[in-house]
C-alpha cells in the first residue's frame, strides 16, 4: 500500500516527526518485550545485503505463524541481567537461517550472531581482525594469488571441524550459483581455488585483484561472504530453497532457539570455538532477544524510544536527532556514540543520494538531473537538521580518513571549482529546464507535452522522515512535481526503476573510492522492465566511465594511475550528475547502560567497530559488551 504525502501535508508530518513524542510507561520488563502494534504487512528492510555492497532487500512475506514454535518449557529461563534486548523490524521468512537461502536470508535480523567470516574490519580502529582465517596473504607481488590459512580450532556448532573443505565449497558456490551475492565478483576475478591441506586454500586470480580479500572476503558493515558448512549444504537438493531453520549448522557464538512473528531469541553457545582459540572472551551476554517491530524498518520509533527510556530495550535502530535527544533527557543511563552531545552518532558508510533511473526519460537527460541538484540547498539542510554541522554532501562515498585525503587532492578540488556540485541556484535550474524544452504550467510546475516531471521521493519513514519532506519542498519550489512516498512499495519502486526519485544510500567504499564508483559501472546496468540488484539503482552505463573504473580494479590504491582514474570517475560523476548526493549518513543509536556497558563510543572505542548490531560486525559488538 502506498503512503504518499502531498505538499500540504508536509508541514504536519515534519512537526510530528520533530516532536519525537514519547508514550507513557509500558510496565514491567519481560525477558522478551512484546512487540508494539504494527501494520500486518511486512515491508523491505533497509538497508540489507546485496552484491557487491547493497543495503536493502526486496519485500519478504512474513510467515503467518511460527513454523518452529517451541514447546512450553523447552526454552530455558534467562535473567534480564543476562539478556540483551534489541528492537528491529523482522521481515524475512520465518526460519531463514541458511546464508544461501535466496531470496529470504539477511544477516541484519540477528543472523550475524550465527554466521562468521574469514576476517572482520574494524572501521574505527582502521584494522582487519583475522577470524576463521588466521591469515589471508597475497603470496604473489602482483596480487594474482591469495593464500588463506584456516584456524585449526574453528568448528561448526554441531562439533564438526571447519576446514579448507568448507572454504572451497563456499567459493565454488559463489562461482557457479548466480543467485548468490558475490557470484559476479568470483566470475570476474577468480581463476581457480584449491585446498592444499585441511587448513590452507590458495586462490588464483585472472588479473591482479588487490581488493578481493578486503571487499569480498572480509566482513564489514553489510558486505562480504561468510563461510558455509559443506557437510550440510552439499546434501541439499536446492541450497537456495533450503531455509535452515533452528537447526542450521553455523559457527557463530549464538544459536537460534525461538523464531515466531513477535521475536527471535538467540542463546549463547559456551562451546564457541573462538573462546578456545583465544580470539574472543566468553561473552557476558547469555541471550539476545530481537523484538519484531513489524512493518517497515524504522516504524513505530516513538514506541521504541519510550521502551528505551523504560530500560526495556538496550539497543535499537538509529533514530532521528530530536527523538534521541528526548531519550537522553529522560534517562541518564542512555548514551550515544558522542555521549549526550550532538550529533549523537557516528559516520556510517551509507551516504544518501536522490537516485533516479538514468535510462528512463526524462531522467535520462543530464540537464534534468543537474537542474534537480541545483534545487537542493545543502546549507539549509545542515542548518535545519544538523545544527550547522556539515553533514550534507557532494560525494557518493563516506568521508572516512583515506577518502577525505582523496577529496583534498588538488585535482579533486579543481573539479569542485569547475562543476560546483554543491551549488544551489534556482535561476540556473530554470535555465536548464527551459533548455530541455519544459515550461512552467499554471501550478508553477515544469511541464512538457502535457506531463510534469514525476519527482515523487521514495524513502523510508523511520529513517528519512526528517530529510525527505525538506527535499520535497525544495524540489517543488524549483518547479518539480514532488511528493513523499513512504509506502511499503518504496523500495520495490527503486528496484523496478519506476519514475521518481529514490532516497537511498551507497554501501560501498571505506578506504578508497573504487567500490563506490563501481556502483555505476555499466556491467550492472539493468534494462527497463527488469529489477536492479544491489545498489545499482541508477542503471547508469557510460563506456568512458566503465573503462576508467575497470582500469582501477587491478591497481593498488597508492598507485598514481589508480588515483588518476579515480579522479576521472569523479569528474564524470559530477559532470553527468549520475545521482544527486544529499547527506552523509549518521547512526544515532541509543545505548542503554542500565544492564550493559562497553558500547563503542568516542570516549570508549572498545574494539573499534561501529555500533550497529545489524551489521556483520554487530556480533563482535554484542559479544564484547560487559555487565553494568
Mean pLDDT to the nearest integer, 453-468 = 94
Q: What is the pLDDT of residues 260-300, one digit of tens each?
A: 999 999 999 999 999 999 999 999 999 999 999 887 666 67
Asked if pLDDT for residue 43 goes beyond 60, the answer is no
Asked if pLDDT for residue 11 goes beyond 60, the answer is no
Confidence (pLDDT) at 540 = 98
CA distance 484 to 54: 23
Confidence of residue 46 (pLDDT cuts 50, 70, 90): very low
- The residue among 23 and 191 whose pLDDT is bigger is 191
- The residue among 31 and 345 whose pLDDT is bigger is 345
Q: Using alpha carbons, list the distances in angstroms from residue 571 to 165, 392, 478, 491, 509.
A: 45, 19, 25, 29, 17
Asked if pLDDT for residue 531 goes beyond 70, the answer is yes
Q: CATH: 3.90.1150.10, 3.30.2310.20, 3.40.190.10, 3.50.50.60. Which one for 29-67+79-97+246-347+589-627?
A: 3.40.190.10
Confidence (pLDDT) at 73 = 53
Confidence (pLDDT) at 302 = 84
Per mean pLDDT, which range of 81-95, 186-200, 472-486, 527-541 is the poorest?
A: 527-541
450: CB partners within 8 A, 6+ apart: none
Confidence (pLDDT) at 297 = 63
Asked if pLDDT for residue 436 goes beyond 80, the answer is yes
Please check whether residue 185 is in contact with residue 212, taking contact to mean a CB–CB distance below 8 angstroms.
yes
Asked if pLDDT for residue 21 goes beyond 90, the answer is no
Among 482, 366, 367, 376, which residue's Cα sits nearest to residue 431?
367
Please check whether residue 591 is in contact with residue 625, taking contact to mean a CB–CB distance below 8 angstroms.
no
Confidence (pLDDT) at 18 = 32
Q: What is the pLDDT of residues 366-388, one digit of tens each?
A: 999 999 999 999 999 999 998 88
Confidence (pLDDT) at 50 = 30
CA distance 348 to 331: 25
Confidence (pLDDT) at 15 = 30
Q: What is the pLDDT of residues 476-528, one digit of tens each?
A: 999 999 999 999 999 999 999 999 999 999 989 999 999 999 999 999 999 99
Confidence of residue 32 (pLDDT cuts 50, 70, 90): very low
Confidence (pLDDT) at 223 = 94
Question: What SS3 class is residue 199?
Answer: coil
- The residue among 283 and 89 whose pLDDT is bigger is 283
Confidence of residue 533 (pLDDT cuts 50, 70, 90): confident
Q: What is the pLDDT of residues 305-353, one digit of tens each?
A: 999 999 999 999 999 888 999 999 999 999 999 999 988 999 999 999 9
Mean pLDDT to the nearest integer, 189-202 = 98
% of the chain with per-residue pLDDT over 70: 88
The continuous run of DSSP H or E covering 439 comes out as: strand 439-440
The structural domains of the chain, with segments of one domain joined by +, span 29-67+79-97+246-347+589-627, 119-233, 352-584
Fold for 119-233, please state it.
Dipeptide-binding Protein; domain 1 (3.90.76)
Asked if pLDDT for residue 435 goes beyond 80, the answer is yes
Task: List the grid coordinates of 54.
Answer: 547493497
Asked if pLDDT for residue 248 goes beyond 50, the answer is yes
Confidence (pLDDT) at 432 = 98
Confidence (pLDDT) at 299 = 66
Question: What SS3 class is residue 446?
Answer: strand
Q: What is the pLDDT of residues 229-244, one digit of tens each?
A: 999 999 999 999 999 9
Confidence (pLDDT) at 300 = 72
> What is the length of the chain?
628
Asked if pLDDT for residue 57 goes beyond 70, the answer is no
Asked if pLDDT for residue 573 goes beyond 70, the answer is yes
Phi, psi at residue 476, to the nearest 5°? Answer: -60, -40
The structure's pTM equals 0.84
Asked if pLDDT for residue 92 goes beyond 80, the answer is yes
Q: What is the pLDDT of residues 392-414, one digit of tens each?
A: 999 999 999 999 999 999 999 99
- The residue among 268 and 43 whose pLDDT is bigger is 268
Confidence (pLDDT) at 492 = 94
Asked if pLDDT for residue 466 goes beyond 50, the answer is yes
CATH of domain 352-584: 3.10.105.10
What's the angle, vertex CA 361, arms to CA 355 and CA 364, rounded to 5?
A: 55
Q: Give the single-character DSSP code of 386.
A: S
Question: What SS3 class is residue 334?
Answer: strand
Confidence (pLDDT) at 114 = 98
Average pLDDT of every residue of the chain: 89
Mean pLDDT to the nearest integer, 443-450 = 97
CA distance 64 to 169: 34
Amino acid at each position: 500500500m502506498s503512503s504518499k504525502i502531498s505538499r500540504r501535508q508536509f508541514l504536519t508530518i515534519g512537526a510530528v516527526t520533530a516532536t519525537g513524542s514519547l508514550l507513557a510507561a509500558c510496565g514491567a520488563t519481560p525477558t522478551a518485550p512484546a512487540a508494539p502494534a504494527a501494520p500486518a504487512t511486512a515491508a523491505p528492510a533497509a538497508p540489507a545485503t546485496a552484491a557487491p555492497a547493497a543495503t536493502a532487500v526486496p519485500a519478504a512475506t512474513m510467515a503467518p505463524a511460527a513454523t518452529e514454535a517451541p514447546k512450553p518449557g523447552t526454552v530455558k529461563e534467562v535473567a534480564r541481567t543476562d539478556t540483551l534486548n534489541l528492537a528491529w523490524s523482522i521481515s524475512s521468512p520465518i526460519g531463514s537461517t541458511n546464508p544461501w537461502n535466496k531470496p529470504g536470508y539477511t544477516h541484519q535480523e540477528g543472523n550475524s550472531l550465527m554466521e562468521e567470516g574469514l576476517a572482520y574490519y574494524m572501521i574505527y580502529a582502521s584494522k582487519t581482525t583475522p577470524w576463521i582465517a588466521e591469515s589471508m596473504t597475497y603470496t604473489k607481488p602482483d596480487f594474482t594469488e591469495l593464500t588463506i590459512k584456516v584456524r585449526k580450532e574453528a568448528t561448526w556448532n554441531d562439533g564438526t571441524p571447519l576446514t579448507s573443505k568448507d572454504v572451497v565449497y563456499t567459493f565454488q558456490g559463489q562461482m557457479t550459483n548466480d543467485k548468490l551475492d558475490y557470484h559476479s565478483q568470483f566470475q570476474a576475478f577468480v581463476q581457480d581455488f584449491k585446498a592444499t591441506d585441511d587448513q590452507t586454500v590458495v586462490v588464483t586470480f585472472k588479473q591482479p585483484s588487490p581488493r578481493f580479500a578486503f571487499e569480498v572476503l572480509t566482513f564489514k558493515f553489510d558486505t562480504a561472504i561468510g563461510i558455509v558448512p559443506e557437510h550440510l549444504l552439499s546434501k541439499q537438493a536446492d541450497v537456495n530453497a533450503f531455509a535452515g531453520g533452528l537447526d542450521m549448522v553455523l559457527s557463530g557464538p549464538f544459536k537460534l532457539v525461538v523464531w515466531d512473528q513477535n521475536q527471535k531469541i538467540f542463546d549463547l553457545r559456551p562451546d564457541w570455538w573462538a573462546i578456545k582459540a583465544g580470539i574472543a572472551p566468553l561473552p557476558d551476554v547469555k541471550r539476545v532477544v530481537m523484538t519484531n517491530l513489524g512493518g517497515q524498518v524504522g516504524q513505530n520509533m516513538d514506541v521504541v524510544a519510550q521502551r528505551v527510556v523504560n530500560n526495556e530495550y538496550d539497543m535499537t535502530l538509529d533514530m532521528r536527532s530530536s527523538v534521541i535527544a528526548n531519550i537522553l533527557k529522560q534517562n541518564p543511563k542512555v548514551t550515544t556514540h558522542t555521549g549526550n552531545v550532538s550529533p549523537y552518532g557516528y559516520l556510517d558508510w551509507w551516504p544518501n543520494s536522490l537516485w533516479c533511473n538514468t535510462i528512463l526519460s526524462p531522467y535520462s537527460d543530464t540537464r534534468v538531473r543537474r537542474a534537480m541538484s541545483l534545487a537542493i540547498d545543502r546549507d539549509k539542510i545542515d542548518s535545519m537538521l544538523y545544527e550547522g554541522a556539515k553533514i550534507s554532501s557532494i560525494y557518493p562515498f563516506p568521508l572516512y580518513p583515506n577518502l577525505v585525503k582523496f577529496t583534498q587532492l588538488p585535482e579533486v578540488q579543481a573539479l569542485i571549482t569547475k562543476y560546483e556540485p554543491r551549488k544551489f541556484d534556482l535561476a540556473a535550474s530554470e535555465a536548464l529546464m527551459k533548455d530541455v524544452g519544459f515550461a512552467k504550467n499554471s501550478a508553477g510546475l515544469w511541464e512538457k507535452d502535457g506531463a510534469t516531471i514525476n519527482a515523487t521521493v521514495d524513502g523510508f519513514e523511520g529513517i528519512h522522515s526528517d530529510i525527505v519532506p525538506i527535499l520535497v519542498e525544495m524540489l517543488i519550489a524549483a518547479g518539480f512535481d514532488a511528493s513523499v512516498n513512504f509506502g511499503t512499495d518504496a523500495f520495490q519502486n527503486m528496484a523496478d526503476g519506476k519514475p521518481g526519485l529514490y532516497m537511498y544510500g551507497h554501501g560501498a567504499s571505506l578506504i578508497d573510492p573504487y567500490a563506490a564508483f563501481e556502483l555505476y559501472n555499466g556491467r550492472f546496468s539493468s534494462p527497463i522492465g527488469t529489477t536492479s540488484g544491489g545498489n545499482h539503482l541508477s542503471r547508469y552505463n557510460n563506456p568512458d566511465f566503465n573503462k576508467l573504473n575497470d582500469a582501477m580494479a587491478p591497481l593498488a590504491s597508492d598507485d598514481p594511475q589508480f588515483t588518476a582514474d579515480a579522479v576521472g570517475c569523479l569528474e564524470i560523476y559530477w559532470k553527468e550528475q549520475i545521482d544527486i548526493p544529499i547527506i552523509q549518513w549518521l547512526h544515532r543509536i541509543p545505548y542503554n547502560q542500565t544492564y550493559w556497558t562497553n558500547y563503542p563510543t568516542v570516549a570508549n572505542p572498545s574494539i573499534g567497530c561501529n555500533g550497529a548490531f545489524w551489521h556483520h560486525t554487530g556480533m563482535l559488538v554484542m559479544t564484547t559488551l560487559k555487565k553494568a
